[in-house]
Structure 1
């Protein structure tokens, strides 16, 4: 295994020590890891999961088929317009894109053999961790805020994870999990602080590259709260470009709900970080309602480096986008329709785009409030 590396302090820590953040600045870890190139003509006949890109992943298995897996990834691309294509990541085993990162954390935990695994979530990440820990035979506890969708609570419990329902908002659940993370033998499978999660989500872009015949669209439009999909996408773009497997980097277009958009506000102000913690405001896009994302600096840097931008959408636009997609045969949860709402409101001047439909509508129902 490689080492954790703090991008701010250059502090390092062996992965085996189960440290979940930099002890100096308390910030999230990056990974001291260099991906090998994935040759597209070598992919035929490989395992039909994200482990097919094993050269680019920071975990190695003697046989990719022996790693923890539920057949995640390889989700289809479906055209929405002449220039916009949706990637149906809600067709994952637990019905959200979070499976991409969860499988990496579960495989890491399986190799590290901790006493127990803990996580915090507003629903989808916790569900994914619970499912993959069940697959790996790992004891798992998930901390969730009291307002979590009942269907997501039911799904987490169905995977036999221990549920800790925390009074308060999403940040309260995170604080409770982090308080428990310091116990001996505990692996904090944080989809925000642990960089292995990002190396799982980057397979989203590897799949687009493979399925589009070795190219990427002009723009990648991504919903952003904690930024795990966007930062994974940025990793993949850097790797593919660095290995000469694409000629140009697509622009990263980040989408936030107008009700709580600290990153969009910082981007427009030219700031390097969110300007101040904001009070959470209710939004239908609960999965991206993050007031102070720990990787804010990295997210802002990644968007600017590609010539991208931030777009925000209103609650009315989210409702309309969910109904519009449902009318096209795609029933997606309200957070997952944010990108389609943004493109409907702003457009991309004819540039080609791929956007993710991140979670199934069955997880939270139709947006009506």
Structure 2
């Protein structure tokens, strides 16, 4: 079995050995990155491989998983001229979080963890619960008190112990961190702090590149709370560009809800980190209601380096976008419609990088539809 790469702290350079159950920097308690720079396989070599995200084995920090449920390889459909949607709600647990959860569960299994702990506003918890069930690992998920009942039902159905925490998303994260710190045999499957999760979510872009014939769209529009999909996308773009498999990098457009937009606010201020963060207001987009994302500096830098920008959407725009997608045959949860909500409200000519596609060329933008509508119902 190929040795696992070490982790390191991007803030102070502290290294963490590959066999450790540590989930954060032991010095600054910040999130970790992976000392891993893979080279993707050429397009023609992918033919005939397993029809899941594990077909991109060269780009993943671990391979030959025992816990796979066939995740990945979700379809693309056109929403309007030049804008495609990737249907990541067609995953085993009905959300894109399966991409990172399967990698974390496989890692926990290989590290012989005694049990797995996680925190979530819903989708990450259901994904971790499912893949822990697949790996026969005991799992406890800490959730905020307003978590969707359907998501709680899904977690418990997979056998996870659910601990409801009074307060918001951050309160649930603190509770999980405290539990992990007090149990040296536990694996904290943090989709925020553990870099393996990002190397799972990056397969979203590797699939786009393959399905578009070795190209990427002009713009990748991504919902951002903790930024796990956006940072994974940035990883994949860098890998493909460095390998010479794409000749340009797409712009990253990050979407937040107006009710909880700490990153968009920092962007407007031209800051490199969060500025004057205020408590989160209620929002239907619970999956991105994160007032203090731990990887804020990395997210802002990734968007800036790509030449992208931030967009925000209101609660009414979310509701209208959800109904619009449903009228097109796509029932998507409230968080998962935010990117489409953003594009519906802006004339293409008003945004940089946007153009009308003609003659079947490269699409202008791709939006992810991240979770199934059955998870949250209508806004």
Is it true that 1:270 corresponds to 2:302 in the alignment? no
What is the aligned counterpart of 1:35 among 38, 43, 49? 38
Q: How far off its partner does 1:328 sit?
A: 0.5
Question: What SS is found at the alignment partner of 2:80?
Answer: coil
Aligned length: 363
Q: Within 2, Cα distance between the matches of 1:162 and 1:341? A: 34
> 1:364 maps to which residue?
376
Structure 1 residue 162, shift from structure 2 partner: 1.0
Residues in 2 aligned to 1:348 and 1:229: alpha-carbon distance in whole angstroms: 23
Deviations for 1:282-304, whole angstroms, at most 9, x for unmatched residues? Answer: 00111000000000000000000
Paired residue for 1:247? 247
Q: Quote how far apart the aligned CAs of 1:15 are.
A: 2.8
CA–CA distance in 1 between the matches of 2:127 and 2:150? Answer: 14
CA contact (8 A) 2:145 2:167 kept: yes
Q: Is the 8 Å Cα contact of residues 40 and 56 (structure 2) preserved in structure 1? A: no
Q: What's the CA shift string for 1:62-102, capped at 9, x where partnerless?
A: xx3x5320000000000001100000000000000000000
Which residue in the other structure is 2:106 paired with?
Answer: 107
- Matches for 1:65-214 after TM superposition, within 5 Å: 66-182=65-181, 183-214=183-214
Equivalent residue of 1:8, what SS?
coil
Task: Say yes or no: does 1:58 pair with 2:56.
Answer: no
Q: How many Å apart are 1:348 and its aligned residue?
A: 3.5
**1:293-304 equivalent positions in 2, closer than 5 A:** 293-304=293-304
Please report how far the alpha carbon of residue 36 of structure 1 lies from its aligned counterpart in structure 2 after TM superposition. 2.0
1:179 match: secondary structure: helix
**1:304-361 residue CA offsets vs partner (Å, 9 max, x unmatched):** 0010000000011000000000000000001000000100112443430001000000
Unmatched segments (≥5 aa) in structure 1:
none
C-alpha separation in 1, matches of 2:12 and 2:348: 38
Offset at residue 104 of structure 1 (A): 0.3
8 Å CA contact 2:333–2:376 kept in 1: the answer is yes
Partners of 2:292 and 2:87 in 1: CA distance: 28
Alpha-carbon distance, 1:40 to partner: 1.1
Give the SS at the match of 1:15: coil
Q: Is 1:354 matched up with 2:366? A: yes
Give the superposition deviation at 1:265. 0.4
TM-score normalised to structure 1 length:
0.97
Q: How has the CA–CA distance of structure 1 residues 104 and 347 changed in structure 2, closer, same or farther, with 3 Å as cutoff?
A: farther
Residues 24, 347 of structure 1: alpha-carbon distance in 2 compared, 3 angstrom cutoff: farther
Q: Whole-Å Cα distance in 1 between the matches of residues 229 and 278 of structure 2? A: 22
- Partners of 1:125 and 1:76 lie apart in 2 by 21
The secondary structure found in structure 2 opposite 1:168 is coil
Q: Could you tell me which residue of structure 2 aligns to residue 321 of structure 1? A: 321
Query: Hey, what's the Cα distance between the residues in 2 that align with 1:298 and 1:67?
Result: 32
CA distance in 1, matches of 2:229, 2:348: 20
- Supply the distance in 1 between the matched residues of 2:348 and 2:296 (Cα, whole angstroms): 24
Q: Report the CA distance between 1:274 and its aligned residue.
A: 0.7
Structure 2 residue aligned with 1:345 = 345
Residue 287 of structure 1 corresponds to 287
Q: What's the secondary structure of 1:359's corresponding residue?
A: coil
After superposition, what is the alpha-carbon deviation per residue over 1:198-238, rounded to whole angstroms, capped at 9, x for unaligned? 00000000000000000000000000000000000000000
Q: Which residue of 1 aligns with 2:359?
A: none
Tell me, yes or no, if the aligned pair for 2:6 and 2:18 is still in contact at 8 Å. Answer: yes
SS at match of 1:259: coil
- More off after superposition, 344-353 vs 288-297: 344-353
What residue ranges of structure 2 are gaps of 5+ in the alignment?
A: 356-363
The whole-number CA distance in structure 1 between the counterparts of 2:20 and 2:40 is 29
Runs of 4 or more off by more than 2 Å in structure 1? 347-351
Residue 225 (structure 1) aligns with: 225
- Supply the distance in 2 between the matched residues of 1:98 and 1:43 (Cα, whole angstroms): 23
Once the 2 structures are TM-superposed, how far is the Cα of residue 165 of structure 1 from its aligned partner? 1.0
Q: Is the 8 A contact 2:104 2:189 kept in 1?
A: yes
Cα offset for 1:38? 1.5
1:48 corresponds in structure 2 to 51
